[in-house]
Amino acid sequence: MERVVEGVLPLSDITVVALEQAVAAPFASRQLADLGARVIKVERPGPGDFARQYDRTVHGQSSHFVWLNRTKESMALDVKSDDGKQVLKSLLASADVFIHNLAPGAVERLGFGFEELHALFPKLIVCEISGYGKNGPYSNKKAYDLLIQCETGVVSITGTPDTPSKVGISIADIASGMYAFSSILTALILRGKTGQGTHIEVSMLEALGEWMGYPMYFAAYGGTPPARTGSSHATIFPYGAFAAGDGKSVFFGIQNDREWEQFCTIVLQRPELAKDEQYQGNANRYKHSEELTREILQVFSQISAAEVEQRLDEANIANARLNNMVDFFEHPQLKARGRWREVTTPEGVVRALLPPGTIRGSAVCMGPVPRVGEHTEKIRNEIAAKHRGGSFEGIETSSGRPIVNRDHY
Whether the per-residue pLDDT at 128 is higher than 60: the answer is: yes
> Helix, strand or coil for residue 188?
helix
Whether the per-residue pLDDT at 405 is higher than 70: the answer is: no
Q: What is the mean pLDDT of residues 117-146?
A: 94
Whether the per-residue pLDDT at 191 is higher than 60: the answer is: yes
8 Å CB contact between 200 and 216: no
Reduced 3-state DSSP string for 233-253: CCCCCCEEEEECCCCCEEEEE
- The predicted pLDDT at position 390 comes to 56
Q: Of 11, 3, 1, 28, whose CA–CA distance to 362 is shortest?
A: 11
Q: What is the mean pLDDT of residues 162-173?
A: 94
- The predicted pLDDT at position 339 comes to 95
Give the pLDDT confidence of 227-240 residue by residue, as tens digits.
Answer: 887 777 877 889 99
Longest dimension (CA), the chain: 88
- The predicted pLDDT at position 229 comes to 77
Q: What global pTM score does this model have?
A: 0.86
Which residue type occupies 259? E
Give the pLDDT band (50/70/90) at residue 273.
very high
- The predicted pLDDT at position 180 comes to 98
d(CA 331, CA 320): 12
Q: Of 75, 22, 53, whose CA–CA distance to 381 is shortest?
A: 75
- The predicted pLDDT at position 6 comes to 63
Name the percent of the chain lying above pLDDT 70.
93
Q: What is the mean pLDDT of residues 146-172?
A: 93
Whether the per-residue pLDDT at 249 is higher than 80: the answer is: yes
Q: What is the mean pLDDT of residues 387-397?
A: 51
Give all domains of the chain, ordered by start, each with its CATH number.
3-213+339-403 (3.40.50.10540), 239-322 (3.30.1540.10)
8 Å CB contact between 208 and 154: yes
